[in-house]
Amino acid sequence: MIRSLLRAIALTLSIAVLPAQAAPDQRGPLVLAAASMQEAMTAAADAWAAQGHARPVLSFAGSSALARQIKAGAPADLFLSADEEWMDDVEKAGQTVRGSRATLAGNRLVLITPAAHPVRLKIGRGMPIARALGNGRLAMANPDAVPAGKYGKAALTSLGVWPSVAGRVARGDNVRSALALVERGEAPLGIVYATDARASKSVAIVGTFPTGSHVPIRYPIARLKASRSTDAEPLRRFLLSRAGKAILARYGFSAN
């Protein structure tokens, strides 16, 4: 009888322990991603969740703001920057897992105008962009810090027209803020990524900036040392896989 009682107690204890051992991570990885990746990353998160994983928690902002959050100790799992410089910054601060950094995608830079009241302009060296603005301003992400703004300033400088518009820039906290100004007709022209323009029905593309007018637009991804999610590394690998990159391609991102 005593032996049977001990077996029953042991069985009860083993059943009680199993749920704690087998319980999956209830919260999906926290992903800090560049604002320009909203639609693509949302679709990727849906695809990941459809495979039975906890859905990733996505937080979008300008890469500069995200980098500052990470350096301040934000408990995030993955960082997806819109340029190499902010990833370099986070990496130099010792916040990334060694060997986890990789290039996820590429993009193009475009000049946009409100679809309802388009401005016509041919992109090229010495283009009369200041005259095309009329009394309006040029919508851009902050050219001093945000990747889209830095790419834009570099392109306009390369084409010799930055001095003509430097004092007429409507600065946004991120590229989607610049997009919104043009969507609402508050700016006659704006500089955003091709994927941002593609995501909006309220703007039209005036033209695409030459690839040689700015450094290549690359989106690096890395796992953060603050990560506590067991799904962080599998999710990173999924995003870098053929299936993950196919999702990004559907939203206009290039493979490099």
CATH of residue 179: 3.40.190.10
Read off the tokens for 12: 């009860």
- Residue 206 pLDDT class (50, 70, 90 cuts): very high
118 and 195 share a domain? yes
Which residue bears the tokens 């690096």? 220
Read off the tokens for 201: 């029905």
Residue 250 CB contacts under 8 Å (≥ 6 apart), including other chains: 40, 43
- Pair 222, 78: CB distance under 8 Å: yes
184 and 232 share a domain? no
186 and 125 share a domain? yes
89 and 117 share a domain? no
- Of 14-18, 98-102, 183-187, the range with the lowest mean pLDDT is 14-18
- Residue 255 pLDDT class (50, 70, 90 cuts): confident
φ/ψ bin of 94: left (φ > 0), alpha (ψ from -120 to 50), beta (otherwise): left
Look at residue 80 and tell me if it is in a domain.
Answer: yes
Q: What's residue 16's pLDDT?
A: 37
What is the arithmetic mean of pLDDT over 75-89?
A: 97
What is the arithmetic mean of pLDDT over 209-219?
A: 97
What CA–CA distance (Å, rounded) separates 36 from 134?
Answer: 28
Q: Please, what is the average pLDDT of the chain?
A: 91
Look at residue 89 and tell me if it is in a domain.
Answer: yes
155 and 190 share a domain? yes
44 and 117 share a domain? no
Q: What's residue 219's pLDDT?
A: 98
Strand stretches in the chain, DSSP E? 30-34, 57-61, 78-80, 102-106, 109-114, 138-141, 169-172, 189-193, 203-208, 218-223
Containing domain of residue 182, as a range? 109-213
Task: Work out how many domains the chain is built from and give that number.
Answer: 2
Specify the 3-state DSSP secondary structure of 192: strand
91 and 113 share a domain? no
157 and 113 share a domain? yes
What is the arithmetic mean of pLDDT over 107-127?
A: 97
In the predicted structure, residue 127 carries a pLDDT above the cut 80: yes
Of 37, 31, 82, 80, give the one whose Cα is nearest residue 57: 31
Question: What is the share, in percent, of the chain residues with pLDDT greater than 90?
Answer: 89
Q: Which helix (H) or strand (E) holds 244?
A: helix 242-250
Distance between alpha carbon 102 and the CA centroid of its chain, in Å? Answer: 14
- pLDDT tens-digit map of 140-186: 999 999 999 999 999 999 999 999 999 999 999 999 999 999 999 99
In the predicted structure, residue 21 carries a pLDDT above the cut 90: no
115 and 72 share a domain? no
Look at residue 16 and tell me if it is in a domain.
Answer: no
121 and 149 share a domain? yes
In the predicted structure, residue 4 carries a pLDDT above the cut 80: no
Q: What's residue 27's pLDDT?
A: 82
121 and 243 share a domain? no
- pLDDT tens-digit map of 24-69: 456 899 999 999 999 999 999 999 999 999 999 999 999 999 999 9
Of 170, 183, 175, 110, give the one whose Cα is nearest residue 139: 170
